[in-house]
Amino acid sequence: MNKLDLFSDHHLVRQSLAAVIEIAEAFKLEKGRMPVLMEVCGSHTMAFARSGIKQRLMDHVKLIAGPGCPVCVTDQKSIDAMIQLADEPDTILCTFGDMMRVPGSASTLMKAKTEGKDIRVVYSPLESVKIAQQHPDKEVIFLGIGFETTIPILALAIREAEKMELHNFTIWMTTKLVEPVLRELLDAGEVKVDGFLLPGHVSVVLGKTSYDFLMKEYQVPGVISGFEPVQLLTGMYKLIDLLHNQKVDILNDYTHVVKEHGNAVARELLHTYFEFGDEAWRGMNVIPKSGLVLKDQYARFDAKKKFNVAVKEPRKVKCRCGEIIRGLINPEECVLFNKGCTPVHPIGPCMVSSEGTCAAHYQYMREE
């Protein structure tokens, strides 16, 4: 049995589940309530639902999905702007597949594509650079979403376009950073959490020490976790154990890929091409310095500066993705869930994304 199989071994999963239930019940006995944990990462949200762990622990641990799905937190204005840009002649838009079905105010990128606009799904921003090289007579714009995991790849795309001396490639930057949004959640005080299960992928870039502010400034513990069932459960166990023993610490339970100070090469790429910028989050308005924007010397690659796009305020709908992203409600509390909003006819991004909370509930936790 290799190591990855070990993380999904049924015997170990059952043992780990029993251990989590035991420590959670000890916490309940002392506090008179369940421990409340937030999984920050959308991949964790989907992994908890798909593995059945969230359903199995429902009476022992309250798990809240956090704002870590990159598609879900992309503001509606960016979708509207990209659809508007698609109307421009001699323009090619490139984006990740999940973004195609996210509703804007009046349409989606998918619908715009079926209407004849040149919109292409790519697996990497570097593919869009190649498209720009192959089509020098067209403007190629990449919709740059994502957290710290994805942003270094955007930097590589800029570096590649610079090497090729391309003048027809830009990125519409709408990236997000983990630390500012966690601060926003804790400062707002709308959702009460005892501790955080911290994202494995983002932590590969950031490193364990990037979460020290949680411990030092907010006295909230956290554990960096992997994504397989045993990894999820051991992360939960260690976090509840900290809470039960009234210890505030940041633990790394994903040590084979997450280092103390992260990935130095990726961080250097971020600092070379980007600087902090204010960023709009779906359901949370603008959070100061919560995203990265291109530095002035790379402004020629900035789609927001190159193209004059003015979009109206998004049309208001009954979708409650904003509250779901902030951990304030469960998907079932949205009047649209499994009625007007389904994976076939999504109204909000949380139902579209492969990391979305509503998609996870619909696929694995919905009562028929």
pLDDT for res 1: 59
Question: What pLDDT digit, counting tens, does each position of 312-364 carry?
Answer: 887 777 889 999 999 999 999 999 999 999 999 999 999 998 889 999 999 99
* Whether the Cβ atoms of residue 295 and residue 158 lie closer than 8 Å to each other: no
Residue 90 has pLDDT above 70, yes or no: yes
Residue 18 has pLDDT above 80, yes or no: yes
Give 143's strand partners.
172
Alpha carbon distances (Å) from 325 to 52, 62, 74, 202, 338:
21, 16, 11, 18, 18
Q: Which residues contact 183 (CB under 8 A, 6 or more apart)?
A: 213
* Whether the Cβ atoms of residue 177 and residue 103 lie closer than 8 Å to each other: no
pLDDT for res 368: 60
Instruction: Report residue 366's pLDDT band, with 50, 70 and 90 as the boundaries.
Output: confident
pLDDT for res 76: 87
Three-class DSSP category at 69: coil
Element (H, E) at 322: helix 321-325
Phi–psi pair at 218, nearest 5 degrees: -115, -10
Mean per-residue pLDDT, 112-135:
96
For tokens 């990236």, what's the residue? 175
How far is Cα 166 from Cα 133, in angstroms, rounded to an integer? 7
Question: What pLDDT digit, counting tens, does each position of 240-289 carry?
Answer: 999 999 999 999 999 989 999 999 999 999 999 999 999 999 888 899 99
Instruction: Report residue 2's pLDDT band, with 50, 70 and 90 as the boundaries.
Output: low
Alpha carbon distances (Å) from 271 to 76, 152, 174:
27, 10, 17
* Whether the Cβ atoms of residue 281 and residue 253 lie closer than 8 Å to each other: no
Report percent pLDDT > 70 for the chain. 98
pLDDT for res 311: 81
Three-class DSSP category at 251: strand
Residue 15 has pLDDT above 70, yes or no: yes
* Whether the Cβ atoms of residue 327 and residue 69 lie closer than 8 Å to each other: no
What are the DSSP calls for 79-101, one per residue? HHHHHHHHTSTTEEEEE-GGGGG
How far is Cα 365 from Cα 63, in angstroms, rounded to an integer? 13
pLDDT for res 201: 92
How far is Cα 125 from Cα 95, in angstroms, rounded to an integer? 8
